Structure 1
Amino acid sequence: MNFFVNEGLAAQGSGIEHAQVQRGKLFRKNGQSFKIVTRVFNSNGHRDLLAWGLNDAEVINMYDYYAHTEHVPEQILTAQDVEWGGRPVAIVEPLPDTPDTFMAYEDENRTRFLGRIHVDLQHESRVTMVEVFEHFGNLFRVDTYDSRGFISRQQYIDPDGTPNTNVFVDRKGRPIIEEYLRRKAPRGSEAMVMNRKHIDSQNQLAENAQMSGQEFEAKPFEAPQFVNYVSGYRLIKSNGMTYIFDSFDELTAEFVNDLNNDFFSEDAPNIFIMDRTTAADEGLLKLDRPAYIGFHLHNLHASDTRDVMTTDENNNYEFDFMHINDYQAVISAMPRQTADVVARYAPKATPFTIPVGVVPAEIRDAERVTMAERQTNSVLMIVRRAPDKCPAAVAEALMIANQKQPGLNAHLDVYGYFDNTGNNKTNKDLLRLFDKYGLEKPTMYDEKGAETTDLNQVRRLESPVVTLHDYVTDRDELYAIHRSHQVYGLASMMEGFNISMMEAMANGMPGVSTNVNYGPNDLIIDGENGYLTKWAPEGQEDQFVTEMADRFLELFNDPEKLQAFSDAAYDHSNRYYEEAVWQAWQGLLADADKRWPAMVAQAHALSNVGVGLGGTTMTAYTLGNRRDEVTVNGISGDKYLAD
C-alpha cells in the first residue's frame, strides 16, 4: 500500500493537503492504491474527505482505524433522535433565538434537565455535540458525534467543571483510546512565561484598539491556580491488548507500526511518504517490519532562503535530516533543491525530484482564455493569509503602480484561509498601507459577514485596490477565478513549490514574484512567462515593492507582451501535466521494488500471540491481514477490498 502521511485533512487545507490529494488522484487514475494517513481526531473527517473528492477507502485516520469506523453508512441524527441512556425524554426544544441549540427535559414541567443538544444547521441539523447533565443539574459528560451519526468521543467532567478524560469509542460505546487530562499548580518558570504572554497579549490588544480608534485599559496578570495537561494515553485494541503511552507521538508510532503490519506483504513493500514529517517521522523509524520510507520536502529545507547550504535546517525537517540515511528516499519538488540537498547532505537515501503539484486534465484540456477576456489590470493571490506570504507587499506594489499611473485602477484579489499569526499582522500591515498612501479605509467584515472595526474579528476586507476573500473549496470555482484574472502575484518569505502559482500559470496567468527559493524561481522563466524581482526578508519589503510595481505597469501597459507571457505560461505548464508527474513517481515506485527483496530478507519474525484481557492468549499482530486491499474504485464506490 502507498501511504501519504499527514496530521489531518480538514476541508480547508494548505498546499500540503492539496499536494496529497492531487497525488492521490493521480495514483488512482493509474491504478495504484493509496491511503492518506491522518492522526488528528476530526468528527467531520468523512464529510471533509468527500469535499476533496476522495472516498472512505483513500483516507485512514488513527481513531477510525482502531474503532473500526473507516466504512460506516451515513445516517442523519437529529435532536429528536438522541438517546439518554434509558432516561425518559419528555421535551426536546430549541432555545429561543438560538436554533442550533436544543434543551432536553425528562418531564413536561421542565424541572428535570437532561442536557443541551447542539446541531449543525448547515448540514440537515445533524447533531454535533450533546452536553449531558446528571440528576443534580451538574454537567458530567460531553458527547461528540461523528458527522455520520454516532458518538465518537466522550469527555468526562469533574464536579468543578474541569475535564478529566477524553474517551474515544467505537460504535458500541467501547473505549478504544483514552486521553487522560490532569491538573497541577504551575511552576514558577511556567508562571513567568504566562506573564510574558499576558503582557504581549495586552500590548497587541492596545495596538488593535489604537488602530481602531478605541480606548483600551490593560488588565493585570493573575496566575492561574491550576493548569491542565495531558498526562498519557491508553489504547485498547480489538483483540483485548492494552497499551499505555506517555505522549501522542508514542501513540502515533504504535498506529503506523500496526498499519505496516496490517498491510504487510512479502511480495511488495508498503511505501510511506511523509508529507508532514512531524506527524510520524520518529515512529516510522521504529517499525517492527520493514517498509520503504521517504520524506517529501514541501518547503525550504534551510532556515534562510539566502543560504541553503550552511544555515540551520527548517525546524520541521531537522529530525529527518539528522536521520536521513535511515530513510530510503528524500524527495524535492524542484531540481535545484534536489541538487542542493545532495550537495549538502550526500544522503544514502535515493534523491528524487517529483513536483508536489499536478496540472489535472480538466485544466490542461480547457479552452485558453485571452488576456482581453479577463478583468483588466487584475492581480490574484491564493495563499494562506499569513505574514510569511506577504500579501501586503503585493498590495503595496499595486498601490504604487496606481499612484504612478492615475487611472490604472489595478486591483488585487486575495483568496485563502485566515491566519492570525503575529496578532493578525497580515490585516494590520494592509490597513497601514491605506494611511501610508492616503487611500480611503476599506470595509471590513467578520466571519459571519457583518461589518466590523475590531481587528481581531476581521476575516474579509473590501476596497478599490485590494479585496480579501474567503477560502474557496470548489475547484471549478477556483479555476474560474484563475481564468478571470491577468497576473498572479507572490512575495513569499520562503517556498518549496507553490501549487497555487502552478495552477494559475496552467490557466494562463503570467507570474510576478520575488526571486525566492524554491518554486517561484523555477515556475517563472524570467522575461518569458513572468518576472522575478529582488527578494528581501520580512520587514524590508521596500527593497522590492517598487520593482514589482514597475513590472505590473510594464505588463498592464503592453497588451501584446501580456498576451505573449500568458501563452508562455500555458505552454510551460506541460512540465506538470499528469503524464510527466506520474513518470517521476514511477521512478520512486521502481526504486522501492528494487530495494524490497533485500529489505524483506532482513525482516525478523514476530510473535503473533500475546496476553489479552483476563490473562487469555490473544492475537497480538495482524500480519498481512489487509495486504490485498485496493482503493481505486472512485468516490461512489462501496467495495474496497479485492475479491
Structure 2
Amino acid sequence: MYFFVNERVAEQGSGIEHAQVQRGLLFRKNQVSFKIVTRTYTQTGHRDILAWGVNDAELINLFDYYAQTEYVPEHPVHAKDVDWGGRTPAVLEADKNKPDTTLVWEDTDKQKFMGRIHTDPKHDNIVTFTEVFEHFGNLYKVDFYDTRGFVSKTQYVDPDGTPNTNVYLDLDGRPVIEEFLRKKPLRPSEINLRKRKFFEAEGQRKANAKLNGEDFKAGKFETPKDEAIITGYRLVKPNGFTYVLDSFDELTKEFLNDLNNDFFSEKTPNVFISDRSSGASDGMINMEQPAYKVLHLHNLHASDTRDVMTTDANNNYEYDLMNINRFNAVVSATNKQRRDVNKRYKSAAKGFTIPVGVVPQAIRDLDRVPMADRDPHSVLMIVRRAPDKRINAVTEALMIANREHPGLNAHLDVYGYFDGSNNNQTNRDLLKLFEEFKLAKPTMLDDHDQPTDDITKVRRIESDVVTLHNYVTDRDELYRIHRRHQVYALASIMEGFNISMMEAMANGEPAISTDVNYGPNDLVVHGKNGYLTRWAPQGEESLFVKEMADRFYEVFSSDKKLQELSDQAYDLSSRYYEETVWDAWKQLIADANKQWPELYQQHFDLPRYGVAYKGEMDTQFQLGQRANEITWRGPKSVKYFKRMKQLEGQL
C-alpha cells in the first residue's frame, strides 16, 4: 500500500493537499492502491475528501482507524434527531441572536434547560455539536457530531467551564481514545509569549485606527491565569488492550506502526511518503517493522532562497533533513533541487525528481482559448493571501504599468484563502499602495460580503486594479477562471514548485514571475512561455517591481507576442502530462520493489494474544490482515464489507 502522510485534508487545502490529491488520482488511474493518511481529528474529514474527488477507501484517519469508522454510510442528524441520553426535550426553540443555534428545555415552562444544538446552515442544517447541561444548570459535556451522523467526540467540562477530558468514540459510544487535560500555571516564557502577542495585537489595532481615522485607546495586558493543557492519552485498541501515551506524537507513532502491520506483505513493501513534515515524521522514521520511507520536499529546503547550500534548513524540514539517511528515498519537484539537496546533505537515500503537479486529462480535453477571447489585460494569481506571496508587489507593478501607460487598464484577480499573518500585512500593504498612487480607496468586504472599514475583518477587496476573491473549491470553475485571464503572475518569497502556475500554463496563460527557486524558474522558460524578473528578499521589492511592470506592458502591448507566449504555454505543459509524471513515479515504485526483499528480512513476527472487542479472535497483532485491500476499486477486505452491512442496518 502507498501511504501519503499529512496532518489533514481540509476543504480549502494548500498546495500540498493539491499535490497529494493529484498524485492519488494518478495512482488510481494506473490501478495502484493508495491511502491519504491524516492524524488530526476533524468532524468534516470524509465530506471534505469527497469534495476533492477522493473516496472513503482512499482516506485513513487516526481517529477513524481506532474507532473503526472508516466506512460509515451517511445519515445526517438534524436538531429533532438529537439523542439526549434518556431525557426527553419538551421545547426546541431557535436562538433569536444565533440562527444556527437551537435552545432545548425539558419542560414546557422552560424552567429545566437541557442544552443547545448547533447546526451548519451551509450544509442542510446538520448538527455540528451539542452542549449538554445537567439538572443544576451547569454545562458538563459537549458532543461533537461527524458529518456522517454520529457522535465522534465528547468533551467533558468542569463546573468552572474548564475542559478536563476529550473522549473519542466508536459507533457504539465506546471510548477508543481519551485525551486528558489538566490545569497548570503558565511558565514565565509562556506569559512573555502571550504578552508579545498582546502588544502585536495592540499594534494592529493602532494601525487600523490610523487607517480608519479613528482615535486609539491602548489596552492593558493582564497576566493569564491557569490554563488547561493536554497531559496524555489512553488508547484502547479493538483487541481490548490499553496503552497509555505521553503525547500526540507518541499516539501517531503507534498509529503508523499499526498501519504498517495491518497492510504488511511479504510480496510488496508498504511505501510511506511524508508530504507534510510534522510529528508524524518521527513515527515514520522509527517504525518497528520495515517499510520503504520517502521524504517528499514540497518547498525550499533552506531558509533563504539566495543561499540554499549554507543557510539554516527550512524549519519545516529540519528534523527530516537531520535524519535524511533514515529515509529510503527523497523526492524533489525539480532536478535543480534534487542536485542541491544531494550535494548539501550527501544523502544515502536515493534522489528522485518527480513533479508535484500533474496536468489532468480534464484540462487537456478542453479547446484552446485564444488571447483575443479572454478578458483584455487581465492578470491572475491563485495563492494563499499571505505576506510571503507578495500580492502587494504584483499589484504595485500593475499600478506602475497603468500609470505610465494610460489606457492600459490592467487588472489583477487574486483567488485563495485569507491569511492574516503579521497583523493583516497583506491588507495593510494593499491599502498603503492605494494611498501612494492616489487611487480611490477600494471597497472592502467582510466574511458575509458586507462593507467594512475594519481591516481585521476584511476578506475581500474590490477595485479597478485589484480584486481579492474567496477560495474556489470547484475545479471546473477554477479552470474557467484560468481561461478568462491572459497572464499568470507570481512573486513569492520561496517556492518548491507551484501547481497553480502549472495549471495556468496548461490553460494557456503565460507567466510573469520573479526568478525564485524552485519551481517558477523551472516552469517558466524565459521568453517562450513567460518571463522571469529579478528576485529580491522581502522588504526590497522595489528591485523588481519596475521590471515586472515593464513586462506586463510588453506582453499587453503586442497581441501577436501575447498569443505566441500563450501557444508556448500550452505546448510546454506537456512536461507535466499524466503519462510523463507517472513514468517518474514508476522509477520510485521499481526501486521500492527492488529494495523490498532485503528490507523484508528485517521484519519479525508479532505475538498473537488477547481477545478482541465483543469476543472475536484477536487479529490486532497479525501481520498483513489488510494486505489485500485494493482502494482503486474499493476495499477488498470481507471484514469491511461485512461491517458496512451491519452499519446500514443500525443507522
Question: Normalised by the size of structure 1, how large is the TM-score?
Answer: 0.97
Query: Residues of 2 paired with 1:251 and 1:212: CA distance?
Result: 48
**Equivalent in the alignment of 2:227:** 227
Counterparts in 2 of 1:229-268, with a 5 A limit? Answer: 229-268=229-268
Counterparts in 2 of 1:296-445, with a 5 A limit? Answer: 296-445=296-445
Structure 1 stretch displaced more, 336-345 or 529-538: 336-345
Query: Residues of 1 paired with 2:610 and 2:288: CA distance?
Result: 15
Query: Residues of 2 paired with 1:442 and 1:217: CA distance?
Result: 26
Query: Residues of 1 paired with 2:117 and 2:168: CA distance?
Result: 19
Counterparts in 2 of 1:19-418, with a 5 A limit? Answer: 19-418=19-418
Query: Residues of 1 paired with 2:303 and 2:377: CA distance?
Result: 35
Change (3 A) 1:126 1:140: same
**CA RMSD in angstroms, aligned pairs only:** 1.9
- Establish whether residue 621 from structure 1 lines up as the match of residue 589 from structure 2: no
Structure 1 stretch displaced more, 170-179 or 585-594: 170-179
**Equivalent in the alignment of 2:588:** 588
- Matched residue SS, 1:632: helix
* One-letter identity of the residue aligned with 2:76: I
Change (3 A) 1:622 1:431: farther
- Establish whether residue 602 from structure 1 lines up as the match of residue 602 from structure 2: yes
Structure 1 stretch displaced more, 100-109 or 579-588: 100-109
- Matched residue SS, 1:199: helix
Spell out, residue by residue over 1:521-561, the C-alpha distance to the aligned partner (whole angstroms, 9 max, x if none): 00000011100000000111011000000000000001111
Alpha-carbon distance, 1:620 to partner: 5.1
Alpha-carbon distance, 1:641 to partner: 7.1
Spell out, residue by residue over 1:216-275, the C-alpha distance to the aligned partner (whole angstroms, 9 max, x if none): 211111112212211111111111111111111111011111000011011110001110
Change (3 A) 1:278 1:187: closer
Check whether the contact 2:515–2:535 (CA below 8 A) recurs between aligned residues. yes
Query: Residues of 2 paired with 1:470 and 1:437: CA distance?
Result: 25
Spell out, residue by residue over 1:317-354, the C-alpha distance to the aligned partner (whole angstroms, 9 max, x if none): 11111111111000000111111111112211110000
Check whether the contact 2:239–2:610 (CA below 8 A) recurs between aligned residues. no
Structure 1 stretch displaced more, 236-245 or 558-567: 236-245
Alpha-carbon distance, 1:88 to partner: 1.8
**Equivalent in the alignment of 2:559:** 559
Spell out, residue by residue over 1:378-407, the C-alpha distance to the aligned partner (whole angstroms, 9 max, x if none): 000000000100011000000000000011
* One-letter identity of the residue aligned with 2:40: V
Change (3 A) 1:114 1:622: farther
Spell out, residue by residue over 1:508-529, the C-alpha distance to the aligned partner (whole angstroms, 9 max, x if none): 0000000000000000000111
Check whether the contact 1:631–1:640 (CA below 8 A) recurs between aligned residues. no
Check whether the contact 1:165–1:181 (CA below 8 A) recurs between aligned residues. yes
Check whether the contact 1:510–1:529 (CA below 8 A) recurs between aligned residues. yes
Alpha-carbon distance, 1:192 to partner: 2.6
Alpha-carbon distance, 1:201 to partner: 1.8
Check whether the contact 1:333–1:496 (CA below 8 A) recurs between aligned residues. yes
Query: Residues of 1 paired with 2:612 and 2:50: CA distance?
Result: 37
Spell out, residue by residue over 1:469-507, the C-alpha distance to the aligned partner (whole angstroms, 9 max, x if none): 000000000000000000000000000000000000000
Alpha-carbon distance, 1:98 to partner: 3.0
- Matched residue SS, 2:479: helix
Alpha-carbon distance, 1:120 to partner: 1.1
Change (3 A) 1:640 1:333: farther
Alpha-carbon distance, 1:611 to partner: 9.1
* One-letter identity of the residue aligned with 2:413: D
Query: Residues of 2 paired with 1:564 and 1:190: CA distance?
Result: 57
Structure 1 stretches of 4+ with a deviation exceeding 3 A read: 610-613, 616-620, 638-642
- Matched residue SS, 1:367: coil
Structure 1 stretch displaced more, 502-511 or 315-324: 315-324
Query: Residues of 2 paired with 1:439 and 1:138: CA distance?
Result: 55
- Establish whether residue 468 from structure 1 lines up as the match of residue 443 from structure 2: no
Check whether the contact 2:388–2:493 (CA below 8 A) recurs between aligned residues. yes
Query: Residues of 1 paired with 2:305 and 2:96: CA distance?
Result: 55
Spell out, residue by residue over 1:432-478, the C-alpha distance to the aligned partner (whole angstroms, 9 max, x if none): 10001000000001111111010110000000000000000000000
- Matched residue SS, 1:483: helix
Unaligned runs of 5+ in 2: 643-651
- Establish whether residue 525 from structure 1 lines up as the match of residue 540 from structure 2: no
Query: Residues of 2 paired with 1:151 and 1:396: CA distance?
Result: 50
Check whether the contact 1:633–1:640 (CA below 8 A) recurs between aligned residues. no
Query: Residues of 1 paired with 2:152 and 2:592: CA distance?
Result: 37
Structure 1 stretch displaced more, 491-500 or 163-172: 163-172
Spell out, residue by residue over 1:296-319, the C-alpha distance to the aligned partner (whole angstroms, 9 max, x if none): 100001111001111111111111
* One-letter identity of the residue aligned with 2:23: R
Structure 1 stretch displaced more, 143-152 or 197-206: 197-206
* One-letter identity of the residue aligned with 2:372: A
**Equivalent in the alignment of 1:501:** 501
Check whether the contact 1:6–1:279 (CA below 8 A) recurs between aligned residues. no
- Matched residue SS, 2:631: coil
Query: Residues of 2 paired with 1:325 and 1:160: CA distance?
Result: 50
Structure 1 stretch displaced more, 599-608 or 390-399: 599-608
Spell out, residue by residue over 1:100-137, the C-alpha distance to the aligned partner (whole angstroms, 9 max, x if none): 11111111111111110011112121111100000001
**Equivalent in the alignment of 1:539:** 539
Alpha-carbon distance, 1:619 to partner: 5.7
Query: Residues of 2 paired with 1:278 and 1:172: CA distance?
Result: 32
Check whether the contact 1:628–1:641 (CA below 8 A) recurs between aligned residues. no
* One-letter identity of the residue aligned with 1:57: A
* One-letter identity of the residue aligned with 2:21: V
Change (3 A) 1:560 1:617: closer
Query: Residues of 1 paired with 2:268 and 2:595: CA distance?
Result: 10
* One-letter identity of the residue aligned with 2:555: L
Alpha-carbon distance, 1:182 to partner: 1.3
- Establish whether residue 455 from structure 1 lines up as the match of residue 455 from structure 2: yes
- Matched residue SS, 2:394: helix
Check whether the contact 1:338–1:351 (CA below 8 A) recurs between aligned residues. yes
- Matched residue SS, 1:320: helix
Spell out, residue by residue over 1:52-96, the C-alpha distance to the aligned partner (whole angstroms, 9 max, x if none): 011100010000000000100101211001011101221122122
Change (3 A) 1:641 1:104: closer
Alpha-carbon distance, 1:2 to partner: 0.5
- Matched residue SS, 2:99: strand
Check whether the contact 1:36–1:60 (CA below 8 A) recurs between aligned residues. yes
Structure 1 stretch displaced more, 488-497 or 75-84: 75-84
- Matched residue SS, 2:379: strand
- Matched residue SS, 2:278: helix
Query: Residues of 2 paired with 1:606 and 1:180: CA distance?
Result: 30
Alpha-carbon distance, 1:212 to partner: 1.9
- Matched residue SS, 1:441: coil
Change (3 A) 1:610 1:186: same
Query: Residues of 2 paired with 1:282 and 1:611: CA distance?
Result: 30
- Matched residue SS, 1:283: helix
- Matched residue SS, 1:609: coil
Spell out, residue by residue over 1:583-623, the C-alpha distance to the aligned partner (whole angstroms, 9 max, x if none): 0000000000000000001212322326999xx99665242
